[in-house]
Amino acid sequence: MTVLAPSRPVDLMLPPRPSRLVPTLTAIAVGAVVLAAAAGLPIRWTDLASLPAQLLHYGALMFESPNWEKLPRALFETWRSISMAWIGAILCVLVSIPLGMLAAGNVGPVWLRLPLRGLFAVIRAVPEVIIALLLLTITGLTPFTGALALGIAGIGTQGKWVYETIESQQEGASEAVRAAGGGTAEVTRWALWPAAAPALLSFALYRFEINIRTSAVLGLVGAGGIGSMLANYTNFREWDTVGMLLIVVVAATMLMDAVSGAIRRRIMRGPGVRRPDRGLGAGAAGEKGAKGGRDVAGIR
């Protein structure tokens, strides 16, 4: 009888321990930048101790007894801000969807795709307030200035969403259209657009929600709307009216967010499926089932 000797364990090659040098240096560099930025600003850190008391003081001035006499005008200016946001969103969508589709890697050529992506990046780098200040010299202190600023500023972000959505679509439908002899235009129309349309419409509504918030900020630079009214009464230090305006802004923004969110969910999920027998009583459903059973028995 042969006795087998126990096999020797094989020496395992353990991977080298990862170096922590790069993350450590990165953390040190970020910390140094933060400290340099804080040291370069004229900040009195002792004022932080009095900040809660100041917030309570001005909160009481604004919300203890709001001045509701200016409510009709506040509602009108809020409607102006919503109108600016809606027009800006429409302008943004009308321009960004075709340009964004041309910037997609599976649609546009490289000589067109790269300049469009660079244009979107440049627009995203400029805040809406700066665009509004540049447009003030051309269109003046009107709500149309705010709508144009919102529309132009949204092209950068919306265009990026469009070409990323187009590039993320499955290739099955596109390959089927190409196999049938379709070119780039046919692939875009019959394969990419039907698949990406719900997401793009959802993004358009989300852009509208962003514009509602931004329109109040644009009013601070004279673009009209509830922001201009809020800036004026803040400068005059009429805190009871400022409190009423803040309540109106928050309520209108929350209402528009809820409506837009419900529409976006309906677009992404689609309509619900209704059961054929829903709404029939127990007797009607039973009679229908019995009739179906008799028909089947007759066929047999």
The pLDDT tens digits for 37-51 are 877 777 777 777 888
Alpha-carbon span 79 to 71, nearest angstrom: 12
With H, G, I as helix, E, B as strand and everything else as coil, classify residue 21: helix
Q: Is residue 37 part of a domain?
A: no
Q: Is residue 65 part of a domain?
A: no
Q: What is the mean pLDDT of residues 250-259?
A: 89
Q: How far is CA 118 from CA 22, 112, 125, 159, 166, in A?
A: 30, 10, 11, 11, 18
Q: Is residue 5 part of a domain?
A: no
Q: Give yes or no for residue 299 having a pLDDT over 60.
A: no
Q: Is residue 63 part of a domain?
A: no
- pLDDT tens-digit series, residues 75-119: 998 998 899 899 999 999 999 999 999 998 888 888 999 999 999
- pLDDT tens-digit series, residues 198-234: 888 888 888 888 888 888 888 777 777 888 888 888 8
With beta carbons less than 8 A apart as the criterion, state whether 133 and 156 touch. no
| Cut 0.75: pTM above it | no
Q: Is residue 94 part of a domain?
A: yes
Number of domains composing the chain:
1
Q: What is the mean pLDDT of residues 48-62?
A: 86
Domain that holds residue 156: 80-268
With H, G, I as helix, E, B as strand and everything else as coil, classify residue 280: coil
Alpha-carbon span 240 to 59, nearest angstrom: 10
Extract the tokens encoding 137: 């010299």
Work out the pLDDT band at 271, boundaries 50, 70, 90.
low
> Looking at residue 251, which CATH number applies to its domain?
1.10.3720.10
Q: Is residue 219 part of a domain?
A: yes
